[in-house]
Every structure is written in C-alpha cells, then in structure tokens.
Amino acid sequence: MPTEIKQVRDEANRRTVLRVSGEMFRDDAVLLARIADDIHRELLEPVALDLGDLDLLDSEAAHILRQLADKDGFTLEGTDVLLQSAIDEAERQAGSN
C-alpha cells in the first residue's frame, strides 16, 4: 500500500498536521521529513506528524522520523495507535498457530 500524506491546518493549536497512512519505508520517511522541514521553514510554525493511520513503519523510517521529532518544532502523534495495531496483529497471528 502506498504512503499517503494529507496536510491539515490545526488553527486551534496554530500548527500544521501531516496525517500519514499506508506503509512507510526509508524513502517515504526521507520525503516526509523534507516536506515537514519545508512547511516549518515557510510557515514558521510547529509541524505534527500523525502516524495513527500507518499500517507499517519499518525501522529505518522510524529512525528518520525520530530524528525529526527530536528537532525543535516537530512532534510525532498517533504512535500509540500504531503500536496497538502491531500488537493486535501479532496476537491474531499467534492465535492462528
């Protein structure tokens, strides 16, 4: 499933949210980080990356996003949803064995 990125303006918190869905690999994360950097630089406001709708996040992509989140003005959201989905899938697979 391809990665889809949707830009949403959060007026209440004066920030931009990038909602990400699908599967994210290293190249997708590099592109997302570049987009987030550009938005942050152009609008001079915080950028949140909402990962709650991701189906898959590989370790290289996770590392890139973690590095971005460590920078001032960037946050990761929805990681609890992503983690719970991974746990649910692992339990389904364990139950079918």
What pLDDT, in 10s, does the model give residues 24-81? Answer: 999 999 999 999 999 999 999 999 999 999 988 888 999 999 999 999 999 999 888 7
Confidence band of 23 (pLDDT split at 50, 70, 90): very high
* Contact indicator for 35, 47 with CB cutoff of 8 Å: no
User: Is this structure's pTM higher than 0.95?
Assistant: no
DSSP classification of residue 58: -
Selection from 3, 25, 45 nearest residue 37 by Cα: 45
Helices (H) and strands (E) in the chain, counts: 3, 4
Res 35: pLDDT: 97
Res 85: pLDDT: 73
